[in-house]
Amino acid sequence: MRKLSTLSDIPHKVSSTSVIGVGHKHESAIRQVSGQARYVDDIPEAANIHHAAVGLSPVAAGTIISIELEDVLSSDGVIDIITVTDVPGHIDIAPVFDGDPILADKKILYHGQPIFAVLAKTIEQARKAVLKAKIDIAPGVPCLNIEQAKQEMNFVRPPHEMQQGNFEKSYAACPIQLKGNLTIGGQEHMYLEGQVSMAVPEEEDRMLVFTSSQHPSEVQKLVAEVLDIKLHKVVVDMRRMGGGFGGKETQAAQWACLSAILASRNKCAVKLRLPRMQDMMATGKRHPFENSYQVATDENGRIQATQIEINGNCGHSADLSDAIVDRAMFHADNGYYLGSSKIVGHRCRTNQVSHTAFRGFGGPQGMLVAEAMIDAIARKLGKDPLTVRKLNLYDEHDPLRCTTPYDMFIEHNVLPELIAELENSSQYWQRRKDISAFNANHSIIKKGLALTPVKFGISFTAKHLNQAGALLHIYTDGSIQINHGGTEMGQGLHTKIGQIVAHEFGLPLEHIEVTSTRTDKVPNTSPTAASSGTDLNGKAAQNACLIIKERLCEFYAGLVKGDADNVYFEEQNVYLEEHKITFTDLIQQAYIGRVSLSASGFYKTPKIHYNRETGKGRPFFYFAYGASCSEVTVDTLTGEYKVDRVDILHDAGRSLNPAIDVGQIEGGFIQGMGWLTTEDLKWDDSGRLISNNPATYKIPAIGDTPEIFNVDLYGRANEENSIYHSKAVGEPPLMLANSVWCAIKDAISSLSNYHLDPQLNTPATPEKVLDAIELIQQAGGQSN
Ligand code: MTE
Ligand code: MOS
């Protein structure tokens, strides 16, 4: 293809009016705050719509002996009931590996597992009818924790291992040897819009599905499979989600499939919206983990050898757990060189709901081990943790300290510089002094400070998912519709795609309409996940623009007898040497001249590979970096604490939209803070989730926002050829919250004059903080 004149290719022509790099508000912001933005439950209903509800298992393990549904069927308004035997096609709706029956198939695998679905005239009637079922289950003995699953070698997938050098040999030779373990809690997604789907039967066996899903193509495939029809008979439409956070990557499909089966049987539109409590019980969460490490350093605290064992609680099935535990393993180094290393990951099967993607996708649970190790080393040596962190960063100039445990060479590492900048702007060392003085003068209230980095790998580790498509139409008035494979969940993907298209054609943002994600426009798409939405779909959209621009350049060059290579698009005009035409006029002429004004674009990420046999490769196109500095105040009598101040410097490359990126950073940080502090998932001894509503499960509220909250973008361009050299920003900021956890530990450690490293499992609720305080005091720290 001709090398086309995108503005970024012609440096002297870069427009001061370009929409790239500008803080445009979210395309739906006004409609969202004014209630006009349409979610699945807002779509006008067909005249023949009916409503579905599901009946859930009251036990975590067992065998179904009988299901009596007469009373359900005779309940007011009930139209139909289905159990697993009524599914016309596939029963298993698992995303990658088998094991997720659409409705319980004889065996009960977790508390809250859907056993049957009811269709009634109204949603209330459906939900009431469900309660009248009589289900006889021979109870089994559930496996409810990682320890038991590991003992029984009960894994949803085989273990995986990666190593570099000889751990045992290096470990034995070191003067400092430390061991530790860390229990890390899961997290409920708590998207504002819960799981919901609406299936509308069309002619004969065709099905149109509206769903709140991060993965419309997978919903299309699974709906087709459960209905036993071909994929081309199913269309999935997804305009926006009210949050997904990973919880709608695979686990939106079940509700879409159930709606579609009921719609197909009854020839009516069917909507299934889970009530919040059922949503919390019946859908997977962030995986709880139990990790352990052995780490050895030289006298200075420089790591020489590391062994880490990662154990994810996957729930009853594989779902995405293979890739999630892999990502935990890939991030157990965070930004640090681990020396000779061995990392093992186990995928433990328990009788819990199948745990799933959640912002960071296992990365956070791996990364926390790295920070735990650094804190342990710092306390052992009596050094400031920041000093030990800096000492252990990857060093791309030292050939011996620049490869990860999976043998990826670390280049373009901005962490040393980025940390130095934040260290300065947050006045880390001055505040360290102030805090030491404060703590010396206060026996009950203690302050803590920590500055932690983030290094997060960008790309799906399943290589084939790193592709995207887009479909672009220019209409005769010069307005443009762009459709792409990504889904909008609040993260601003559509805004960024709109900006990219507007930039390519030199148009204002209002000229571009990003339409709802539809499987009949762009097929075979990947989920919008792994933070790669803009990287993949942005490049695909740009590719579609370039294809049409090439046609327009040729056409215009023909019109004015110029060189097509010199055409450029700026400020709603198209220029070629001394010639100028408005974009709209050119489009009208091109239409009359029979130039196609529609194109599909495609993109696949270059350079990536990973060999799972050897545990080596380059799974990530690049890394996104960041660092945060948190200060907390802890009441050592009650364990209560407050986050007083947070400073963040985050690397979004050359930001496409600083306003949206800062929003992602703030939101991600707060969500991460909730995960590490207040969000406490509790299951009782029978395996029932008891933190199953917003009253018993505490997400951060506005009052938990740090009073001082400084967020800055690092601003250095991505060295890799990502879209306009920006960087993905969706997930990495969540892990900036690690500094809150480390700061709480720092405050507790002050009780031992910083000689002891407190054991603080997460979430670090006030109860756990108090436990950690008491342990430190018993171990000989100064008591109050
Ligand atoms: N931001 C909002 N507002 N809502 C969300 O659901 N999901 C996060 C992140 N930011 C999410 C969000 C997750 S888990 C991912 S993977 C990315 O957005 C996905 O979008 P992107 O790839 O376009 O960044
Ligand atoms: Mo995000 S957890 O990759 O959907």
* pLDDT tens, residue by residue, 430-465: 999 999 999 999 999 999 999 999 999 999 999 999
The backbone torsions φ and ψ at residue 340, rounded to the nearest 5 degrees and listed phi first, read -70, 125
658-667 per-position pLDDT tens digit: 999 999 999 9
**Which residue blocks in 506-644 are alpha helix, DSSP H?**
533-560, 583-592
690: pLDDT strictly greater than 80: yes
Ligand 2: which atom is nearest the Cα of residue 246? 4
CA–CA gap between residue 296 and residue 614 (Å, rounded): 25
327: pLDDT strictly greater than 80: yes
Q: What is the mean pLDDT of residues 400-426?
A: 97
Instruction: Identify the pLDDT of residue 7.
Output: 41
Residue 600's Cβ-count burial label (10 Å; 0-12, 13-18, 19+) is: middle
Dihedral of CA 282/517/659/429: which sign? positive
Instruction: Identify the pLDDT of residue 482.
Output: 98
Q: How far is the CA of 493 from the centre of ligand 1 (A)?
A: 9
Task: Kindly state if the Cβ of 358 falls inside 6 Å of ligand 2.
Answer: yes
Q: What is the mean pLDDT of residues 204-214?
A: 98
- DSSP-based three-state secondary structure for 482: strand
Instruction: Identify the pLDDT of residue 781.
Output: 55
CA–CA gap between residue 301 and residue 177 (Å, rounded): 10
- Angle, CA of 171, 177 and 179, to the nearest 5°: 105
Instruction: Identify the pLDDT of residue 10.
Output: 39
141: pLDDT strictly greater than 60: yes
Residues with active-site annotation: 731
599-621 per-position pLDDT tens digit: 999 999 999 999 999 999 999 99
Q: Are 208 and 235 spatial neighbours (Cβ–Cβ below 8 Å)?
A: yes
286: pLDDT strictly greater than 50: yes
- Residue count of the chain: 784
Closest by alpha carbon to 254, among 358, 102, 105, 357? 102
784: pLDDT strictly greater than 90: no
Q: Which ligand is nearest to the CA of 286?
A: 2
CA–CA gap between residue 189 and residue 675 (Å, rounded): 10
| Residue whose entry in the numeric block shows the structure tokens 């962190």 | 389
Instruction: Identify the pLDDT of residue 780.
Output: 74
pLDDT-derived band at 5, boundaries 50, 70, 90:
very low
CA–CA gap between residue 632 and residue 576 (Å, rounded): 59
Ligand 2: which atom is nearest the Cα of residue 358? 2
- 352 DSSP assignment: S
Task: Kindly state if the Cβ of 248 falls inside 6 Å of ligand 2.
Answer: no
Closest by alpha carbon to 616, among 158, 293, 161, 168? 161
pLDDT-derived band at 1, boundaries 50, 70, 90:
very low
Closest by alpha carbon to 718, among 490, 446, 531, 445? 531
| Identity of the residue numbered 605 | T
Return all residues near 364 (Cβ < 8 A) that are at least 6 apart.
286, 331, 672, 675, 734, 735, 738
Mean model confidence pLDDT for the chain: 96
Output 698 or 13, whichever has higher pLDDT. 698
Ligand 1: which atom is nearest the Cα of residue 360? 14
Q: How far is the CA of 41 from the centre of ligand 1 (A)?
A: 21
DSSP 701-734: -GGGS-SEEEEEE--PPPSS--GGGB---SSGGG
Task: Kindly state if the Cβ of 530 falls inside 6 Å of ligand 2.
Answer: yes
Task: Kindly state if the Cβ of 330 falls inside 6 Å of ligand 2.
Answer: no
- DSSP-based three-state secondary structure for 755: coil
CA–CA gap between residue 93 and residue 253 (Å, rounded): 8
Residue 29's Cβ-count burial label (10 Å; 0-12, 13-18, 19+) is: middle
Instruction: Identify the pLDDT of residue 15.
Output: 57
Beta strands in 298-339 (DSSP E): 303-313
Give the rounded distance of the alpha carbon of 43 from its chain centre: 27
Report how far apart the first and last C-alpha atoms of the chain are (Å, whole number).
74
174-197 per-position pLDDT tens digit: 999 999 999 999 999 999 999 999
722-763 per-position pLDDT tens digit: 999 999 999 999 999 999 999 999 999 999 999 999 999 999
Task: Kindly state if the Cβ of 323 falls inside 6 Å of ligand 2.
Answer: no
- 126 DSSP assignment: H
pLDDT-derived band at 17, boundaries 50, 70, 90:
confident
Question: 708-713 and 641-650: which strand pairing?
Answer: parallel
12: pLDDT strictly greater than 60: no
Ligand 2: which atom is nearest the Cα of residue 247? 4
Q: What is the mean pLDDT of residues 55-73?
A: 98
Task: Kindly state if the Cβ of 665 falls inside 6 Å of ligand 2.
Answer: no
Residue 156's Cβ-count burial label (10 Å; 0-12, 13-18, 19+) is: buried
| Identity of the residue numbered 213 | S
Q: How far is the CA of 42 from the centre of ligand 2 (A)?
A: 25
pLDDT-derived band at 16, boundaries 50, 70, 90:
low
The backbone torsions φ and ψ at residue 372, rounded to the nearest 5 degrees and listed phi first, read -65, -40
Closest by alpha carbon to 368, among 676, 9, 746? 676
Q: How far is the CA of 715 from the centre of ligand 2 (A)?
A: 24
Q: Whose CA is nearest to atom 18 of ligand 1?
A: 730
Residues with CB under 6 A from ligand 1: 243-246, 359, 486, 489-491, 493, 528-534, 664, 667, 728, 730-731
Residue 651 in tokens: 């690397």
CA–CA gap between residue 410 and residue 236 (Å, rounded): 40
Q: Is the peptide bond before 763 cis (omega within 30 degrees of 0)?
A: yes
- 444 DSSP assignment: S
pLDDT-derived band at 18, boundaries 50, 70, 90:
confident
Q: What is the mean pLDDT of residues 271-286?
A: 98
Instruction: Identify the pLDDT of residue 731.
Output: 98
CA–CA gap between residue 339 and residue 177 (Å, rounded): 13
531-582 per-position pLDDT tens digit: 999 999 999 999 999 999 999 999 999 999 999 999 999 999 999 999 999 9
Q: What is the mean pLDDT of residues 130-135?
A: 98
Q: Whose CA is nearest to atom 4 of ligand 2?
A: 246
CA–CA gap between residue 767 and residue 499 (Å, rounded): 47
- 507 DSSP assignment: -
The backbone torsions φ and ψ at residue 730, rounded to the nearest 5 degrees and listed phi first, read -65, -50
| Residue whose entry in the numeric block shows the structure tokens 């089966």 | 261
Instruction: Identify the pLDDT of residue 13.
Output: 42
6: pLDDT strictly greater than 80: no
Q: How far is the CA of 769 from the centre of ligand 2 (A)?
A: 29
- 106 DSSP assignment: S
Q: Are 127 and 273 spatial neighbours (Cβ–Cβ below 8 Å)?
A: no
Half-sphere exposure of 311 (CA within 13 A, CB side): 21
Q: Which ligand is nearest to the CA of 731?
A: 1
Ligand 1: which atom is nearest the Cα of residue 529? 16
Instruction: Identify the pLDDT of residue 70.
Output: 98
Q: How far is the CA of 370 from the centre of ligand 2 (A)?
A: 22
